[in-house]
Amino acid sequence: MPAGLQVWDASGLLVVDTSMMLPRSVYIGEVSSAGSASIIPIARGESIGVPMITPVGGEATPEVTLNGSTLSWKASGQRGFRAELTVCLL
């Protein structure tokens, strides 16, 4: 029997099924200043994304948002930041 994660939206449409497609990731890189990146598989409607943030060197992490297919990051408050960003595609 297959096993995996399945997620439906409010109208009952299956939007994620890892028993049919394995998750993959897009590595954005190490960031220390504000910026953004377009995630092409999301723009094409092929995936949904979950941002993952890994602090580097014990420094603060940025505020990260995923709006449509655009991943954006910026400092949270007055503190600087340094982190590695990856988007997990489902």
Cβ–Cβ under 8 Å, residues 25 and 86: yes
Determine the pLDDT at residue 2.
Answer: 59
pTM to 2 decimals?
Answer: 0.74
Please name the residues in contact with 33: beta carbons below 8 A apart, sequence gap of 6 or more: none
The pLDDT value recorded for residue 51 is: 95
pLDDT per residue, tens digit, the chain (90 aa), is: 456 778 888 888 887 777 766 778 899 999 999 999 999 989 988 888 999 999 999 899 999 999 999 999 999 888 899 999 999 987
DSSP letter assigned to residue 20: T
- In contact, 34 and 75? CB cutoff 8 Å: yes
Give the pLDDT score at 73.
97
* pLDDT (0 to 100) of residue 24: 85
Residues 6 or more apart in contact with residue 16 via CB below 8 angstroms? 5, 6, 7, 48, 90
DSSP state of 76: S
Helix (H) or strand (E) holding 26: strand 24-31
